[in-house]
Amino acid sequence: MRLRNSLSSKYLFLIFMAMMIFPITFPVISILVYGPLTSMDSELPNVYQNGEDLEDMWHAEAKKLTGKTDTEIIQTLTKLKSTYSKANIFWVNEQGILQKKLPDTIEIPSRWTTSYTVEFMKTSYGGDPFTIVAFIGETKSRGFMVFQIPRSDMQSTGEIIRERYDYIMIIGTLLILGTFVFLSWIFFYKIKKRLLRLQEAMANPAESGIPEPLVVDKSDEIGQLIQSFNSMVHQLEESRKREKEEEDLRRQLIANLSHDLRTPLTTIRGHAYSLKKEDLSEKGQESLELIDTKINYLGQLIDNLLSYTLLSSKKYPFEPTKTDIIRIVRLTAASWYPVFEKENFTIELDIPDDSIFWMVDPKWFERILDNLFQNINRHAKSGRFVSISVKKVEHTAQITIEDKGPGMQSESTGKGAGIGLSIVSLMTKEMNIKWDIHTTKHGTKMVLSASNVD
């Protein structure tokens, strides 16, 4: 992978740009701020910024009022107020009576004594607000008029902005930092989004159980990770395909083998039956009985092998219906009763007369019971005991089959590959029947239960 395509190089570039931009933030802002300020002082002058100009203007306006009436004086002052809206303007006549104040909210006395006027002149000189006093006309006979403006409003436009320079610098710096943080957030958000897409693909596979491959949009580290993920998906698909082909081949082989074994087995059984009619020695009769037993065992093994193959491939006929399991348990137990009796088993039956219905396939359920009884007859003969009971427990029913054999973990003369119990496991799972096994060296208890009870 090229360095320029890696995530680390991209983020290092982002940090490098921030380190380059941040130091020049202050000079750039200074140029941007102070550059226009010089021209702003001349282009956008503040009418209050020059005290001398204000004094010249105010005295000139006062001289123009020579010979004017009170009404004309007030009109002139009102006009000046509209031009200098931030200023306080008032007129006191020669008797010391306040004639006009603009605005009306100015807190000044309505009558001015000589001492108060002198004190006002004294405190206003060089103070704040900036105060200009001018006698109306060319004599003092019409009183005086006053112009006041706060000194904070007498700054130039540039000076006002320059006072806010620190705030501008802080805002500019925060803007640069905020831009870096924002770009970093976008960088990691995109990484997180791509990783979450990969996680979602892994957590939500297709119906086949294998995740769908993803589109590789970039060639960075995450892109390489997605490529590895797609390669893994491809390998899984190939492995699943080979597994299915091998499984189909194995099932077909077992089906063909089971069919091919039945023909010679039937022939051997026929000849064994013919030999039974012949006069044989006692030892010959024992050998013939053993042959017959093994033929039956081999036939059952072939049936179980074929059944297991059909069940695992979902090709075994399955027709669930509302079935009285008490009747099937009773009939199956009756068919096995002579077998257990011949082997000197103690048989205990506790089967109620009432019907209990489960939604099962009757043939499947009978096959389950046959396999369980066959397992007892083959592996638990030493215990010489079998118990079959059916009872209702809360909202379900339980079928309990128990023996006193050496347990499933021990070795027995008839122990095989366990295909019979595998068939039981597949059938109970398909019919939603719970199957529990409790086995020790003192015996085995098998419990079948279901919730669909009437």
Q: In the chain, what are the domain boundaries?
A: 3-45+159-195, 51-154, 265-312, 321-450
Measure the CA–CA gap between 163 and 275, rounded to whole angstroms: 125
How many Cβ atoms are within 10 Å of 302's Cβ, its own excluded? 18
> Per-residue confidence at 1, pLDDT binned at 50, 70, 90?
very low
Return mean pLDDT, the chain. Answer: 81
Considering only residues 325 and 279, tell me which one the structure prediction assigns the higher pLDDT. Answer: 325
> Per-residue confidence at 99, pLDDT binned at 50, 70, 90?
very high
Place of tokens 């010679």: 264
The answer to whether the CB of 381 falls within 8 A of the CB of 340 is no
Omega of the bond prior to 211 within 30 degrees of 0, cis? Answer: no
Three-class HEC string of 334-369: HHHHHHHHHCCCEEEEECCCCCCEEEECHHHHHHHH
Place of tokens 């208890």: 445
Query: How high is the pLDDT of residue 190?
Result: 81
As a whole-number percent, the residues of the chain with pLDDT over 90 amount to: 17
Please report, in angstroms and rounded to a whole number, the separation of the first and last CA atoms in the chain. 68
Query: How high is the pLDDT of residue 48?
Result: 82
Q: Give the tens place of pLDDT for each residue, 386-396.
A: 999 998 887 77
> Per-residue confidence at 89, pLDDT binned at 50, 70, 90?
very high
Comparing C-alpha atoms, which of 28, 7, 21, 24 is closest to residue 184? 7
Comparing C-alpha atoms, which of 394, 407, 395, 393 is closest to residue 437? 407
The CATH class for the domain spanning 51-154 reads alpha beta
Measure the CA–CA gap between 187 and 183, rounded to whole angstroms: 6
CA trace torsion 199, 200, 205, 211 (10° rounding)? -50
pLDDT at 239 over 50: yes
Measure the CA–CA gap between 111 and 121, rounded to whole angstroms: 15
443-450 vs 396-403, strand pairing mode: antiparallel
Q: Which helix (H) or strand (E) holds 148?
A: strand 144-149
- Which residues are registered as beta bridge partners of 347? 386
Which spans in 70-219 are helix H?
70-83, 114-124, 157-163, 165-203
pLDDT at 161 over 70: no
pLDDT at 226 over 90: no
- Which residues are registered as beta bridge partners of 275? none
Considering only residues 140 and 377, tell me which one the structure prediction assigns the higher pLDDT. Answer: 377
CATH number attached to the domain at 321-450: 3.30.565.10
Comparing C-alpha atoms, which of 329, 319, 315 is closest to residue 361? 319
Considering only residues 219 and 99, tell me which one the structure prediction assigns the higher pLDDT. Answer: 99
Query: How high is the pLDDT of residue 207?
Result: 77
Comparing C-alpha atoms, which of 379, 388, 386, 387 is closest to residue 406? 379
CA-CA-CA-CA torsion sign (56, 60, 61, 66):
positive
> Per-residue confidence at 258, pLDDT binned at 50, 70, 90?
low
- Which residues are registered as beta bridge partners of 437? 446
pLDDT at 128 over 80: yes
pLDDT at 377 over 90: no
How many Cβ atoms are within 10 Å of 166's Cβ, its own excluded? 9
- Which residues are registered as beta bridge partners of 350? 389
Measure the CA–CA gap between 137 and 130, rounded to whole angstroms: 22
Measure the CA–CA gap between 408 and 383, rounded to whole angstroms: 13
pLDDT at 413 over 80: no
pLDDT at 452 over 80: no
Q: Is 329 exposed, middle or buried (0-12, 13-18, 19+ CB in 10 A)?
A: buried
